[in-house]
């Protein structure tokens, strides 16, 4: 098996190119047994996935990652903790945004530090629900002050459009990364955002699992769907052409995967990893079942003929409209109305 690919996201800041996602451990994706979940996380780390994504609003996940740190310190030693990178998010509640103060920002960062058992957070990815509410740049500058005070190593953003990211860069906020949805179904980041030169950490590369052999040849599922991730990405499938379009794509990807003796999911993640500015894919998992497949992604390289076939398949999909996260940012629209906007204080 080839070793997990790694990348220098910033000077002296290395990550694995597959990041383990944390949303699937927050409830809403089936029952979570903490002991079992932490054992899976340890296995992922030992297999080479040394970077983990979570958020202040993923219920219980910062605590699970704190337990992961304790386990690694006990059984793998201090050098393991140096390789471990935990990327959390700072997602202030929608209702807080009009009156947010530096003290609110600091309290949320301190809470993450406490849950994770860290003196300094590795990467904080900032999300702002409503761009019509002023204050996003000022809030990022407060994060920068907390960085200067030693509470944060790196600052990133998540779910900002090109203009949003540009505003931070213009204000001098030192951005290490932008976390965005990027997949065979959603190529919005390629349109403009990638040109800004910020490294991309990409979620949704498997569309919650829809881009995998599990759904090839399956009938369109009825609501309620089994988990929140599938609810989110089924809306994307509807927008790019519907279930028949997904099945056509899966059949084409399956032919490529079979030639390479691999799976559709690996081809889907590989495609995203090969795009300009993409540093890593963030792949979710409810169990350790897919660990081996996701660790060995470096075996699954695409050649020119694969890329041409994929381009022909993608040409048959309807591109999503707008810039990164424009569809989701509309709270009254199909995508925005399924989200939960005030989870931070509830934690
Ligand atoms: N910034 C944001 O707004 C945002 C939004 C969404 C997600 N995220 C982050 O991104 C992570 C990824 O979540 P996502 O919702 O986008 O899901 P995803 O990574 O597209 O899909 C995850 C699902 O795919 C299945 N899977 C994983 N590896 C596989 C493989 N090799 N073969 C077949 N199936 C495989 C797993 O299903 P089973 O476990 O059921 O087997 C898993 O639950 C989250 O955990 C979170 O950290 C961030």
| CA-266 nearest atom, ligand 1 | 31
293 lines ligand 1 (CB under 6 A): yes
CA-nearest of 325, 329, 324 to 192 is 324
**260 within some domain:** yes
- Which of 54, 193, 203, 296 maximizes ligand 1 atoms within 8 Å of its Cβ, making it the mutation to test the pocket? 203
**252 within some domain:** yes
- Which of 16, 227, 233, 283 maximizes ligand 1 atoms within 8 Å of its Cβ, making it the mutation to test the pocket? 283
* Residue range 228-248: mean pLDDT, rounded: 97
**345 within some domain:** no
* 5-31: pLDDT as tens digits: 999 999 999 999 999 999 999 998 999
**166 within some domain:** yes
25 lines ligand 1 (CB under 6 A): no
- For 38-99, the three-class secondary structure string (H helix, E strand, C coil) is HHHHHHHHHHCCCEEECCCCCCCHHHHHHHHHHHHHHHCCHHHHHHCEEEEEECCCHHHHHH
* Residue range 105-128: mean pLDDT, rounded: 98
Q: According to the model, what pLDDT value does residue 346 have?
A: 78
- Residue 1 pLDDT class (50, 70, 90 cuts): low
How many structural domains comprise the chain?
A: 1
Nearest CA to ligand 1 atom 35: 209
Nearest CA to ligand 1 atom 48: 203
**346 within some domain:** no
**20 within some domain:** yes
**254 within some domain:** yes
Residue 307 CB contacts under 8 Å (≥ 6 apart), including other chains: none
Q: Distance, CA 243 to ligand 1 centroid (Å)?
A: 19
Containing domain of residue 84, as a range? 7-338
**344 within some domain:** no
* 82-107: pLDDT as tens digits: 999 999 999 999 999 999 999 999 99
Full-prediction pTM beyond 0.85?
yes
The neighbour count for residue 221, using CB atoms within 10 Å, is 13
The CATH number of the domain holding residue 297 is: 3.20.20.100
């Amino acid at each position: 098996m080839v070793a997990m690919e790694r990348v220098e996201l910033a000077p002296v800041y290395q990550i694995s190119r597959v990041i383990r996602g944390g949303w699937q451990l927050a409830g809403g994706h089936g029952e979570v047994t903490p002991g079992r979940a932490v054992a899976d996380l340890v296995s992922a780390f030992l297999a080479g996935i040394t970077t983990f994504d979570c958020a202040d609003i993923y219920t219980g996940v910062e605590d699970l990652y704190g337990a992961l740190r304790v386990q690694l310190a006990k059984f793998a030693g201090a050098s393991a903790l140096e390789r471990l990178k935990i990327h959390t998010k700072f997602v202030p509640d929608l209702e807080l945004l009009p009156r947010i103060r530096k003290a609110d920002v600091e309290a949320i960062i301190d809470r993450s530090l406490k849950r994770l058992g860290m003196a300094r957070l590795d990467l904080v990815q900032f999300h702002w629900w409503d761009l019509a509410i002023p204050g996003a740049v000022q809030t990022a500058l407060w994060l920068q002050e907390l960085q200067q005070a030693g509470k944060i190593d790196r600052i990133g953003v998540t779910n900002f459009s090109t203009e949003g990211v540009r505003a931070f860069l213009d204000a001098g906020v030192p951005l290490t990364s932008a976390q965005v949805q990027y997949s065979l179904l959603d190529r919005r980041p390629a349109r403009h955002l990638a040109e800004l030169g910020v490294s991309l950490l990409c979620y949704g590369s498997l569309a919650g699992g829809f881009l995998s052999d599990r759904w090839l040849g399956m009938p369109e599922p009825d609501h309620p769907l089994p988990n929140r991730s599938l609810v989110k990405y089924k809306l994307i499938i509807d927008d790019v052409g519907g279930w028949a379009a997904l099945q056509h794509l899966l059949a084409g990807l399956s032919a490529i995967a079979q030639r390479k003796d691999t799976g559709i999911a690996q081809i889907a993640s590989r495609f995203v990893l090969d795009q300009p500015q993409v540093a890593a894919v963030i792949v979710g998992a409810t169990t350790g079942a897919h660990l081996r497949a996701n660790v060995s992604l470096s075996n699954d390289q695409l050649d020119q003929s694969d890329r041409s076939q994929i381009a022909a398949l993608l040409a048959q999909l309807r591109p999503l409209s707008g810039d990164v996260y424009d569809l989701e940012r509309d709270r009254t629209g199909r995508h925005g109305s399924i989200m939960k906007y005030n989870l931070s204080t509830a934690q």
